[in-house]
Amino acid sequence: MEKDPILKTEKNNENQENPEINKLKDNEEAKEEKILTPEEKIKELEDKLTRTLAEMENQRRRYEKEKDEAFEYGGFSFARETLNLTDNLERAKESLKNDESLKNSESLKKTLEHIEIIHKDVLSIFKKNNIEPINSINKKLDPNYHQAMMEIEDNTKEPGTIIQEIQKGFLMKDRLLRPALVGVSKKKEEKATNDKEDKKDEENNEKK
């Protein structure tokens, strides 16, 4: 007889806890049923796949941009400094040609040949790395590629035509590496004006 109240109490406690437990179980089962729904599962996977692919594409674009910038800007400064090699080779050739003690000598001829070979090799290496010289002579002055250093009177050329190249310019992948320093033509306006004034003076003198 003493066990009956205890059993009854345990049964009552179990009944009191059951509603909450049953509610949690129902929620979990409902959640599991919702996740396991084939259509929703497929849609969820598609969304995840789309986001993953979009993120991968963004990363690829960032990598490509960083790679291009590293090549453009990292190699750009080095390439511009390397142009000093061509300048020094050109100066060396001109210096040797103007040396009176070496003129018409066999040693001068051989030295110039060697310098020319080195110069061509340097330009070949530049070309392989998309560095090209700017063709300037007889071209119209273009501020995007040329820098005018002087004007030279020449009535045989249109004004603004490049007739002298002081320092060769270069491009790197269609981007200006260094502008060409040039001399451009201009008309002999002052002389023409002076000739007219002289002619007028002569006519006035004749009248007098």
3-37, pLDDT tens digit by residue?
Answer: 455 544 554 554 455 555 555 556 555 555 555 57
- Residue 126 burial by CB count (10 A; 0-12/13-18/19+): exposed, middle or buried? buried
Confidence grade of residue 99 (pLDDT, cut at 50, 70, 90): confident
CB 96 within 8 A of CB 81: no
Domain residue spans of the chain: 37-129, 133-208
* Residue the block writes with tokens 């000739």: 195
Sole residue written with tokens 């259509």: 39
Hey, is 98 helix, strand or coil?
coil
Tokens, residue 207: 């009248």
Predicted confidence at residue 105, as pLDDT, reads: 87
Angular region, 148: left φ>0, alpha ψ -120 to 50, beta rest: beta
Sheet holding 146-153, edge to edge: 146-153, 180-186, 162-167
pTM for this one? 0.56
Classified by CATH at the fold level, domain 133-208 comes out as: Nucleotide Exchange Factor Grpe; Chain A, domain 2 (2.30.22)
CA separation for the pair 45, 43 (Å, rounded):
5
Q: Which of the 8 DSSP states describes residue 177? A: E
